[in-house]
Amino acid sequence: MTTRRRRTPWDVVAWRALNGCLVGFLLLPILVVLLFSINPAPFIQFPPHGVSLRWFAKFFGSRDFMAAFGLSAELACLTVVGSIVIGTLAALALVRGRLPGAGFLAALFLSPLMLPAILTGLALFQLYVLLDVGRPFWGLLVGHVVIAIPYVIRTTVAVLTNFDRSLEEAARNLGASELVTFREVTLPLIRPGVIAGGIFAFVISFDQFPLSLFLVNPGQETLPITMFNYLKYDFDPTIAAASTVSIALSIAVVLLLERTIGLQDYVKL
């Protein structure tokens, strides 16, 4: 009995090895980018010779990249605020309400998840052409908020569904007003879902490409678009450094997500 338990059967080992390889496939490109960003040579070189931070210096010293970085960060932060406010309110109404057509509304608010962002981008572009408003910053922001809202709604709805309504009833019975109940009971309880949605919204906005492609002003582009344009003509590791900065930001976000609500819950969504 004990020997059987100790020795893992060969097929289980093979299965794990296969999955190890697949994880390698998923992580390899990221490791390669990290490696190139600290490689001093201006071309792809493997194995790397030496360590250098010159590409980071070039990235942080580049006015174009920094302007794009700033624009993306500003856009992402405003997107978080906009999508959290609008998305949380909508999620509350969808779960709590016996609104007529709630199922249809939910499908509508979640549809940017499945609809290609390039279509949303083209559609907003055509609307702005039609209205003759040019390519305003608010136009870009509105697009980002529309794309980010489904994530906020999904995470908030997930929390609201497992919500114990009797807590609110108790507060109400103890004489709290609707507003006080919301502030003191509902909001703290749904906070993890809202925060998770906000983090998703940040990442979605910060990495957004196809939507921004249609809506940015030439010369005032977001970071992914600036990187894309750079890649079309130049191949030096400045992009690797820029990527490393983005990756560091994303890893920070994943850790934050894990700390706030635990990634485990996301598999069930």
Partner 1 sequence: MTTLSTAVIAPARRRRRGRHRLEGLLIAPALLLFGGFFVLPLAVVLLTSLLTGNPMGGRAVGFTLRHYERLVGDDYYLEVLVTTLRLGLWTTVAALLIGYPLAHQLARLRTPLWRTLLLMAVLSPMLIGIVVRTYAWMTLLSNQGIVNNMLQALGLTDKPVGLMYNEFGTVVALVHIYVPFMVLTLTGVIGRIDPRLEEAARSLGASKLRGFLEVTLPLSLPGIVAGCLLVFALAISAYVTPILMGGFEIITLPILIYQQISGTSFNLGFAGALAMVLLVVSLLLVALYSRVMAGMAGGRAWR
Q: Which 41-80 residues touch partner 1, going by CB under 8 A?
A: 43-44, 46
Q: Which is nearer to partner 1, 80 or 124 (CB)?
A: 124
Number of H helices, E strands in the chain: 14, 0
Q: Which is nearer to partner 1, 11 or 188 (CB)?
A: 11
Helical residues (DSSP H) of 38-136, grouped into ranges: 54-61, 63-96, 102-114, 117-131
Site for partner 1, residues 234 to 253, rule: CB under 8 A: 235, 239-240, 242-243, 246-247, 250-251, 253
Site for partner 1, residues 186 to 225, rule: CB under 8 A: 203, 206-207, 209-210, 213-214, 224
* Distance (Å, whole) CA 24 – CA 115: 30
In this chain, which of 117, 159, 190, 194 binds partner 1, going by CB under 8 A? 117
- Give the count of residues interacting with partner 1 (CB under 8 A): 97
Phi, psi of 177 (to 5 degrees): -75, 170
Q: Which stretch binds partner 1 (CB under 8 A): 40-48, 51-59, 63-71, 184-192?
A: 40-48
Q: How far is the CB of 53 from partner 1 (least distance, A)?
A: 19
Q: Which is nearer to partner 1, 8 or 264 (CB)?
A: 264
In this chain, which of 84, 158, 194, 215 binds partner 1, going by CB under 8 A? 158
* Distance (Å, whole) CA 202 – CA 235: 28
In this chain, which of 19, 170, 183, 217 binds partner 1, going by CB under 8 A? 19
Q: Which is nearer to partner 1, 171 or 239 (CB)?
A: 239
% helix / strand / coil in the chain, to the nearest 5?
A: 80, 0, 20
3-class SS at 220? strand
- The reply on whether position 125 binds partner 1 by CB under 8 A is yes
In this chain, which of 81, 184, 231, 234 binds partner 1, going by CB under 8 A? 231
In this chain, which of 13, 81, 93, 167 binds partner 1, going by CB under 8 A? 93
Residues in the chain: 269
Contact status, residue 210 vs residue 121, Cβ threshold 8 Å: yes
Cis peptide bond upstream of 47, omega within 30: yes
Contact status, residue 197 vs residue 260, Cβ threshold 8 Å: no
